[in-house]
Amino acid sequence: MFVFKTVTDLQQHLNLAGNGKRIGFVPTMGALHEGHMQLIKESRNKQCYTVCSIFVNPTQFNNAADLEKYPVSIENDMKLLDEAGCDVLFLPTAAEMYGDDITADAYDYGAIAATYEGEKRPGHFDGVITIVGKLFTAVEPDEVFFGQKDLQQCMVIRHLVKTDFPFILFNMIPTYREENGLAASSRNRRLTQDQKEKASNIYKGLLHAKQLIKLGHPAEEAIDSAKKTYLADELFNLEYFDLVDANLMQKAVTTEAPGEYALVIACWCADVRLIDNVLLTD
């Protein structure tokens, strides 16, 4: 695997090395796990020359403590990427990406970036859009791969692609889960074994509510039932648990109108904030 730290070196390499292959790009913040590898594998399955970036983007953290606690495990990350057959790792510094001015631009994407994660983490999506735009400009990929685990991020990036990078093909990859159903996440490392077991109730709650909605129960009743059955433990502190129109990221009351619906959840498990979702169409 080739490793580059500057945009110039990366671009020089990609201009020659891709051998005419399409370039597939997987942006990450490192602390890699099997969930990230699913994206690398999908890029490889699609015969793309595969570039992964690792950059812990300071402008998307609205909470300085969260940025400080973000796990770093670069040696293990490189080993996993190598094993998965990643072709290139792009490992820039903050100065390389931002110069002297480490700030996000302001975007108005309407509800898709203003609700849920946008509301709970002010400025988060401005930081995400800013860095992803810079990375897309540096890598010039043909295809990009993002995880459904961060459904709202997928909707935001899909919008960015549509407006600013129309030649890129956007791929959303299903959430990879641990054996007990807990969505794989870098943050899971901060949970004890017992907390991890309990945190699997987040997915069980999503599936329970999904099943009830599919059986025709009102969404509110289905979600209440899931909360009582799976999320009553005092370990949990629920931030949101809603049915949404996935394309708009706006709360929905029923699934009657045609469209794509999802159940989305953010829940603190002790001092770790976890998010998850399921599509109603799966």
Q: Is 136 in the site for ligand AMP (CB under 6 A)?
A: no
Q: Is 134 in the site for ligand AMP (CB under 6 A)?
A: no
- What residues pair up with 27 in beta bridges, in sequence order? 53
- E strand or H helix at 102: none
User: What tokens were used for 37?
Assistant: 């590898």
Chain centroid to CA 140: 20
Alpha helices in the chain (DSSP H): 7-17, 34-45, 64-69, 74-84, 94-98, 111-114, 117-120, 124-139, 151-164, 193-214, 219-230
Supply the minimum distance, in Å, between the C-beta of residue 217 and ligand AMP.
Answer: 28
Our CB check for ligand AMP shows the closer of 38 and 115 to be 38
Q: Is 29 in the site for ligand AMP (CB under 6 A)?
A: yes
Candidates 10, 23, 36, 168; binder of ligand AMP (CB under 6 A) is: 36
Candidates 10, 38, 89, 117; binder of ligand AMP (CB under 6 A) is: 38
Supply the minimum distance, in Å, between the C-beta of residue 38 and ligand AMP.
Answer: 5
Supply the minimum distance, in Å, between the C-beta of residue 220 and ligand AMP.
Answer: 28
The question of whether 36 is a catalytic residue gets the answer: yes
Site for ligand AMP in 186-215 (CB under 6 A): 186
Q: Is 35 in the site for ligand AMP (CB under 6 A)?
A: yes
Supply the minimum distance, in Å, between the C-beta of residue 28 and ligand AMP.
Answer: 4
Chain centroid to CA 135: 15
Residue nearest to ligand AMP (CB): 147
The CB density around residue 258, as the number of other CB atoms within 10 Å, is: 5
Number of helical (H) and strand (E) elements in the chain, helices listed first: 11, 10
Q: Report the C-alpha gap between 282 and 280 in whole angstroms.
A: 6
Q: Is 183 in the site for ligand AMP (CB under 6 A)?
A: yes
Question: Applying CB under 6 A, which residues contact ligand AMP?
Answer: 28-29, 35-36, 38-39, 146-147, 149-150, 173, 175-176, 183-186
